[in-house]
């Protein structure tokens, strides 16, 4: 018997549609995002950083940047510890720090070199807190803000997600921008639409139950990454019933380019991020596997004949 466990992991922090325009010519971003062939398009109320009037004085006196994170009517407080950040980044203690604070961006500079040491958009700070970056203090309820309406699931077989979704016009991205409405009064839709770039991490488990199983000894189906990506798209579209995916893959797990016609007996898909995605018909909650014991999130379970979403928590309506 052959089993596979597949986890979706972000290769780059989520970016708003507006931010995508700012980074599309950045070679460093391209290098990271080009590792993705599976992408989601989601939406949530626009998010902001808020700062108290004394934020600069507290920065100079305490070497901390205190912020309030806001989306809709929800707030949470935290701070960035500069001393911990400098040590984590392996900079010298006497570095000349300058900070730039805005409602959508925090940047921390090495003033002498004119280099950015670290930066946070309202999406990236969730991504980094999810990865337990030690210099982001408090803000422990961050996962309550890491929630999105999921509009579309897409793949790029012949190229990377960056080229497919950002560099060239993307039909579904444009349709979403044309048809959806802002969730937050006074916000622009381009600031609420968020792009997610995933890679798939895979593990294979073999169980030898009879002599014929040993014919597969040493073989695996993990080498064909394109087939796994194609199968993942179908699984998420089928389960989540995303509105802007015109093809719903109603016959899945039956497919010609997925994992159906392989020796894999059962497989699963989960999200290795503390993100919750919502559609009108379903909810899937991911969990970042940072610590032991592991908190397991939801997962999609597939056999040759069935596909179902296994939920390990109850959700409030």
Indicate the DSSP class of residue 299. E
Question: Is residue 317 predicted with pLDDT exceeding 50?
Answer: no
Q: Which residue has the tokens 């890491």?
A: 146
CA dihedral sign of residues 92, 93, 94, 98 = positive
E-strand ranges in 60-183 read 64-71, 74-81, 97-101, 105-110, 115-121, 136-138, 147-155
- The pLDDT score that the predictor gives to residue 90 is 87
Is this model's pTM higher than 0.85 or not? Answer: yes
Phi, psi of 103 (to 5 degrees): -70, -20
Q: Is residue 12 scored above 70 in pLDDT? A: yes
Give the E-state strand segments of 241-298 in sequence order: 266-271, 276-279, 282-285
For residue 210, what pLDDT is reported?
Answer: 57
Q: E-strand spans in 122-207?
A: 136-138, 147-155, 193-206
Would you give the distance in Å from CA 202 to the centre of its chain?
A: 17
List Cα–Cα distances, 111 to 94, 106, 239, in angstroms. Answer: 12, 15, 49
Report the 10 Å Cβ neighbour count for 24: 17
**Residue 14 tokens, joined:** 């989520």
What span, in angstroms and rounded, lies between the C-alpha atoms of 213 and 143? 43
Query: Using one digit for the tens of pLDDT, what is the confidence trace for 43-76?
Result: 999 999 999 999 999 999 999 999 999 998 899 9
pLDDT at 24: 82
Q: Is 8 exposed, middle or buried (0-12, 13-18, 19+ CB in 10 A)?
A: buried
CB 272 within 8 A of CB 284: no
Domains of the chain by residue range? 2-45+145-310, 47-142
User: Terminus-to-terminus CA distance in the chain, angstroms?
Assistant: 39
- Summarised one tens digit per residue, pLDDT across range 251-291 is 999 999 999 988 899 999 999 999 999 999 999 999 998 75
pLDDT tens-digit readout, 68-113: 999 988 999 999 999 999 999 988 767 889 999 999 999 999 988 8
Residue 295: what pLDDT? 65
Helix (H) or strand (E) holding 32: helix 27-33
Identify which of 142, 146, 162 has the alpha carbon closest to the alpha carbon of residue 154.
162
167 or 293, which is more confident:
167
Provide the percentage of residues in the chain whose pLDDT is more than 90. 72
Q: Which two tokens stand for residue 127?
A: 């991504």
- Summarize the confidence of residues 213-232 as an average pLDDT: 72
Q: Are 1 and 213 in contact (CB under 8 A)?
A: yes
In whole angstroms, what is the distance from residue 184 CA to residue 48 CA?
A: 12
């Amino acid at each position: 018997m052959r089993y596979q466990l597949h986890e979706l992991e972000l290769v780059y922090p989520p970016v708003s549609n507006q931010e995508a325009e700012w980074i599309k010519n950045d070679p460093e971003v391209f290098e990271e995002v080009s590792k993705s062939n599976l992408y989601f398009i989601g939406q949530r109320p626009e998010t902001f950083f808020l700062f108290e009037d004394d934020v600069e004085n507290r920065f100079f006196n305490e070497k901390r940047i205190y912020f309030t994170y806001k989306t809709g009517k929800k707030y949470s407080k935290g701070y960035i510890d500069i001393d911990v950040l400098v040590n984590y980044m392996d900079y010298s203690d006497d570095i000349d720090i300058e900070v730039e604070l805005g409602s959508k961006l925090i940047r921390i500079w090495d003033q002498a070199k004119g280099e950015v040491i670290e930066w946070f958009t309202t999406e990236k700070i969730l991504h980094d807190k999810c990865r337990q970056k030690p210099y982001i203090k408090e803000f422990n309820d961050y996962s309550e803000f890491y929630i999105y309406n999921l509009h579309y699931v897409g793949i790029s077989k012949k190229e990377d997600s960056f080229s497919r979704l950002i560099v060239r016009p993307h039909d579904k991205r444009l349709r979403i921008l044309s048809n959806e409405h802002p969730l937050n009064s006074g916000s622009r839709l381009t600031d609420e639409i968020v792009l997610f770039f995933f890679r798939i991490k895979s593990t294979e488990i073999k169980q030898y139950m009879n002599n014929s199983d040993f014919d597969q000894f040493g073989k695996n189906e993990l080498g064909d990454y394109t087939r796994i990506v194609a199968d993942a798209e179908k699984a998420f579209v089928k389960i989540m019933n995303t509105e802007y995916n015109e093809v719903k893959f109603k016959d899945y797990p039956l497919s010609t380019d997925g994992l159906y016609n392989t020796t894999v007996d059962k497989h699963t898909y989960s999200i290795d991020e503390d993100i919750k995605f919502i559609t009108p018909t379903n909810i899937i909650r991911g969990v970042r596997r940072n610590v032991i014991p592991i908190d397991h999130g939801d997962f999609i379970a597939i056999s040759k004949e069935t596909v179902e979403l296994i939920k390990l928590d109850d959700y409030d309506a």
